Amino acid sequence: MAEIKTSTEQKGGQRSLQIVVFKLGNEEYGLHIDQIKEVVITPAITRMPQTPSFVKGVANIRGNVIAIFDLEDRFNLTRTIQERGSKYTLVVESEDVKLGLLVNEVPNTISVSASDLDESVGIINDSSSETNYIKGIIKSGQRLIILIDIFKVIDHEMNSSIKKASVAA
């Protein structure tokens, strides 16, 4: 991915957010750009035993073996990723974990005003975790984009599984 910008910028005194947008099922989802390290063409994935179904396996990306994560499977969404695999992987990295997220289309980056983010969305909680991973809904024209915090999606149990599957170079 080209130059990564910070997730918030000032435009004429108004705060704007840089969001990476991608499709899961029939809906658009977004992540703050600072949660994404890069976008790569999905390499060969090696299945790992005794991992959750949404952990598709591991792949070698730029010398790092990282866990590959399928959010459609994790969120129980209608499948859009073809059986032969997705075309692109979003590489997500924090101090604790590095993983890849499968997507079919090249994600795009948009800049939205902070006022376009409705953070009062407390309707949906993941029943398997105590934290709400949906940060809000972005209204951009006719589009509604679900903004998620990928690091909240990964609870302690999943984080442990992914850490076991990942190997730092």
CB atoms closer than 10 angstroms to residue 30:
27
What is the reported pLDDT for 163? 63
Q: What angle do CA 82, 88, 92 make, to 5 degrees?
A: 125
Running along the chain, 169 residues long, what does each successive block of 10 average in pLDDT? 42 78 90 93 92 90 92 79 69 86 90 87 52 84 90 64 57
8-165 homologous superfamily: CheA-289, Domain 4 (2.40.50.180)
- The pTM (predicted TM-score) of the whole model is 0.76
- Report pLDDT digits (tens) over 114-147: 889 888 655 555 454 445 788 899 998 889 999 9
What is the reported pLDDT for 82? 54
What is the reported pLDDT for 118? 87
